[in-house]
Amino acid sequence: MPLLRFRPSHRCCPPRRWTPPRWATLAVLLVLGLDAQASCTSTATVAGLAPGDWITPGDWITPGDARVHTAPPMGWPMLARQQVVLLGEQHDRPDHHRFQLASLAALHAHQPNLAIGLEMLPRESQSALDAWIAGDIDEAALLEQSQWYRYWGFDPELYLPVLRFARDQALPLKALNVTPELRQRLVEDGVSTLPPAQRHGIPEPVPAIPSYRERLEASLEEHALELGGEGFGQGFDDDMIDGFVYAQQVWDMAMAQGLAALVEDGHLAVGLVGMGHASHGEGIEAQLKSLGIADVASLLPLSADDACEAEAGLADAVFVVREDKHNEGPRLGVGIESSEDRPGLVVTEVVPNSPAEAAGLRVGDRILNFAGHGIAHPYQLKALVPRVLPGTQASITVTRDQRRQTLTVSFPIVGPALDVERGEGTRQHQRPALQQEQQQEQQQEQEPQE
């Protein structure tokens, strides 16, 4: 459990005594990914499988017999002749986004008429993407006008290199998703019940093939404990599973329809999408085929461990990434809650022995600014805090008792082990006297709230 917790006006996870949520919401919570693969580090090492290699899943049998390539086995020229290329990702992995950027550059070298589809944003964000490509707005305006933090929430720094590349090359960007509210309506009421104009022309998805349903059901069960705690997900009945599977099909079809529109405009459509949507040809690819788009290729990034266990049919090609060392960055140590009628985030919890407590944050404070950035959404704070270097400080502006105060938060250098419930990670890495001294030196501006 992270030290930075947020509630965008409701709990982000179901309570212990769980009642079935709307399936569109659960579909959003479950970020599809590949099932964990058995470790095969020694096999991969003996076979010479290393970061930078390309393989075809299932095309290598034993150590020493690996068919390893320096480019996708089918070649970039052939990939550039496809109608759609799907580039998978796990959304919080920098190495996956570097793979996507390099793949986009290689495809663009062979097919300049390329357009990029983004799972991250709904159709309502399209005007902001168009303005960005035209050079009419800067990065801050792009994030604000696209409502990035509302619709996606993952740190935009992970995606900005691709967005900058698209603008530098004047490549169209297309928002592939729909808003959570619309997705929920499509799932609960059925796609065909809404007039086409209200659903962006998204058609009814084709039914999931048995293997896709099995994978989704396995993913649902695997993530059930993580989503809801002990006892969550026990005894899913057929209706519940059907609802969850249909939610994923609607999501797949929404993105497939957006990519198909790019193809109809004469582009090579490259989709940046979650791994589960791009694997086994069962997600977006199956929906694309129902729309008459048959020339589709999928490329996935995997670690050497996972690549050596990748089964045939997982993707058309796999790129072996160099995994970044896991570094979650510093933690603030607050629970926060947003409200639509007032700016900022209300502090609902201060974790004992955390940087937030040492800085003097209190329950009821309303956070307005962190490290020079205005805060309007929980995901903004979640993205900004890890960027602070351990061992340094950041300012945080709050309102308390209708007065504005600026506090200074010190982020100590923490070890790898962190017991969040006890607030560990702050006590043994910074002398209490130093913490008190820094707290006494904080500059606190007090002025009436505007």
Is residue 372 domain-shared with residue 309, that is, in the same domain? no
Residue 336 · residue 325 · CB < 8 Å: no
CATH assignment at residue 435? 2.30.42.10
Is residue 76 domain-shared with residue 210, that is, in the same domain? yes
Q: What predicted TM-score, i.e. pTM, was given to this entire model? A: 0.73
Among residues 170, 22, 2, 287, the alpha carbon closest in space to that of 10 is found at 22
Position 13 in a domain: no
Report helix angle 238-264 to 180-189, nearest 10: 120
Q: Which pLDDT value is given to residue 225? A: 55
Position 18 in a domain: no
Q: Which pLDDT value is given to residue 418? A: 38
CATH assignment at residue 46? 3.40.50.11550
Looking at the 3D structure of the chain, how many domains does it have?
A: 2
Q: Which pLDDT value is given to residue 47? A: 52
pLDDT tens sequence for the chain (450 residues): 334 433 333 222 322 223 334 444 444 434 334 343 334 544 444 456 889 999 999 875 444 555 678 899 999 999 999 999 999 999 989 999 999 999 999 999 999 999 999 999 999 999 999 999 999 999 999 999 999 988 997 889 999 999 999 999 999 999 999 998 998 888 888 898 899 999 999 999 999 889 888 888 887 777 665 555 544 445 566 777 888 888 899 999 999 999 999 999 999 999 999 999 999 999 999 999 999 999 999 999 999 889 888 899 999 999 999 887 655 668 899 988 887 778 889 999 999 999 999 999 999 999 999 988 888 888 888 888 888 888 899 999 999 998 999 999 998 876 544 333 333 333 333 333 434 444 444 444 444 343
Q: How far is Cα 342 from Cα 338, in angstroms, rounded to an integer?
A: 8
Rg of the chain, C-alpha, whole Å = 23
Is residue 274 domain-shared with residue 406, that is, in the same domain? no
Is residue 250 domain-shared with residue 375, that is, in the same domain? no
Domain, as residue range, for 339: 334-448
Give the residue from 271, 298, 320 where a domain finishes. 320
Encoding tokens for residue 45?
Answer: 């090492």
Is residue 27 domain-shared with residue 164, that is, in the same domain? yes
Q: How many CB atoms lie within 10 A of CB 155?
A: 20
Give the residue from 285, 320, 355 where a domain finishes. 320
Position 250 in a domain: yes
Give the residue from 293, 320, 347 where a domain finishes. 320
Q: Which pLDDT value is given to residue 70? A: 85
